[in-house]
Each structure stands twice: as structure tokens, then as C-alpha cells.
Amino acid sequence: MDCCTPSAGRPSTPVAAPPPGSGDHRIEQVSVPAQTFAMGDAHGDGAPGDGEQPVHDVRVPAFTIDATSVTVADFRSFVTATGYRTDAEQYGWSAVFHLALTDPDQVIGQMQGTPWWLGVEGADWAHPGGPSDVAADDHPAVHVSWNDAQAYCAWAGRRLPSEAEWECAARAGLPSRRYPWGDELPAAGHALNIWQGSFPAVNTAADGFVTTAPVRTFQPNGYGLWQPVGNVWEWVADWFSPAYYAAAPVEDPQGPPDGTARVIRGGSYLCHDSYCNRYRNAARSSNTPDSSTGNTGFRTASRKS
């Protein structure tokens, strides 16, 4: 865990039973060709505890992946069709960044070690800042746990990408680059949605956004993925281990066989290089499968036949 991804601190729960039926997944698909690529941090930017090294060759078969994060509108279709209730809804609260709070009277506490994260009753995918905050349809669905993402995938006939697939898609054929477009951030600061200002009190919103941006903001990468870095963290399928890269297989790695936390990728609107330099292709973090926050969502994938 880090300052950007608080654990909900909830009791462990099993993955919810997949809802019956096959959903209508309407997100545009991006085709990623089969390839071998160098996975990991080639620049030494990452924190040792994140396990971004050693850089190692990985081969992935061809697959498709959503061009965008799953949106609020997409997630609403799933909930409407199935009656599914997310972990946040079942527990009655979720983690909201203090500048996104809309209902101060609904705060039930602060996250341990990260007081800028507040436990807020009624915060969920449809109400990201609290009960009175209505989520915009074209923004990424947040307050979604790994369990919730898995349930959506079961309904949609999809799956979460592996961590290797996610990084391959984000890199878009540019070897060893920090970002989906190259090694440097544009001087204007308008290539991605991250923090500007003095964390955690002042966000100048120089990129145009204090919290989430619509999923089709800025420019897609070379494969056609919108905002694989910045905006929201994205769940992937793998269990997290900082030691995994040293022993990972070359062929289509799927992560450790077990663990206590699942990998999240891409960073979010709260990341800044002064404290959370995780809006990079190689950056990784983790959270427990039932945790939900206002800056974590997901996108789905499928192996090409």
C-alpha cells in the first residue's frame, strides 16, 4: 500500500459469485499483437518494495484489451442487469480523498497512516464523493474492488488482463520507455491526469482535473489505449509479490500462485513524482481484493482466438 491506495481495512471476504448470464460489453477493443518485450523498470525510478526489477523478457500471446477504463455507464449496465452490489455498497462505505468529499457529515473516520483518505458512508461507484455526488457516465467507474471487477468480467464474458499484458499494452511497442509516449513528461503537463501542486492540500489542476477525467481525455497511446497511466489505478489479475520478477517465467507469466493483495497498475490523479512516482509503464502497487477507493477502477481483456 502507499499514500495513493489506502487499504479499506475490512474483514477478508470471498470473491462474489459471478452473476448469471452474458452481458453486453460495449467498450472499443484494442488489438495487441503477440510479442516479446522487456518488462520492468529500466530507469531505476521505482521504490524497491514495489518489485519493479529486474527487467526481464516476457512473451505474451496476442490479446485484446479495452481502449478505456470501464466507465460509470458501462458499470451501470452490469448493475442494472444483475442487481449486483459492490463491496463498498455491502460494507456501507468506501475511501474518498479529502478534496473529493461532498458530504462531510458522512465521514466515519480517516485511513490509518493516510489521513487525507476518509472513510465515507454511501460512497460507491455511483456516488464517488459521497451520497450527494452523482458520478458522470463518461468517467471511469471507481470505488470498485478487485472482487467487483471480477464479477463484471464474469457477466461480460471478459477477464482482467494479466500484469504482463497490461504493461505490454501500455508500452505500445516502445521498449523500456517510462511513459506510453516516451521518456519525458511534456512541459505543459497536459498529457495525463496526475497531481499538480502541494500534496495533499493544494491541487492546482493544471491538467484540468482535481479528480477523475473522462476516459477519452488527452491522447491514446500507439496501440489506442486511453490513459493507461494517470487518471485511475487499474486492477489486473495477478497476486502481488515484490520478489516475483526475479523468478517469473518468460512465457505468458500469470503472477504468483497466491498472496494477500492484488496488483494495481497505472497510477492515478493523485500521483506526483515527489512522493508517488507511479504513473509510469513499469510502476506497480497493490491492494487487498475487497478494498475500494475513489481512484481505482479497471479495464478488461480477452485472448484472441
For the residues of 255-287, what is the DSSP string, one character each?
--S--SSEEEES--TT--TTT----STT-EEEE
How many Cβ atoms sit within 10 Å of the Cβ of residue 28? Answer: 11
**Structural domains of the chain, ranges and CATH numbers in brackets:** 29-303 (3.90.1580.10)
Q: Which residue is associated with the grid cell 512541459?
A: 187
**Alpha-carbon distance 83 to 23, whole Å?**
13
pLDDT of res. 1: 43
pLDDT of res. 305: 64
In DSSP notation, 93-115 reads EEEEEGGG-S-GGGEEEEETTEE
In a structure prediction context, what are the per-residue pLDDT tens digits for the chain, which is 305 residues long?
Answer: 455 677 766 654 554 555 554 688 999 999 999 999 999 999 999 999 999 999 999 999 999 999 999 999 999 999 999 999 999 999 999 999 999 999 999 999 999 889 999 999 999 999 999 999 999 999 999 999 999 999 999 999 999 999 999 999 999 999 999 999 999 988 766 789 999 999 999 999 999 999 999 999 999 999 999 999 999 999 999 999 999 999 999 999 999 999 999 999 999 999 987 778 899 999 999 999 999 999 999 999 999 76
pLDDT of res. 16: 52
Whole-model pTM? 0.94
**Alpha-carbon distance 284 to 222, whole Å?**
21
Contact 149, 142 (CB under 8 A): no
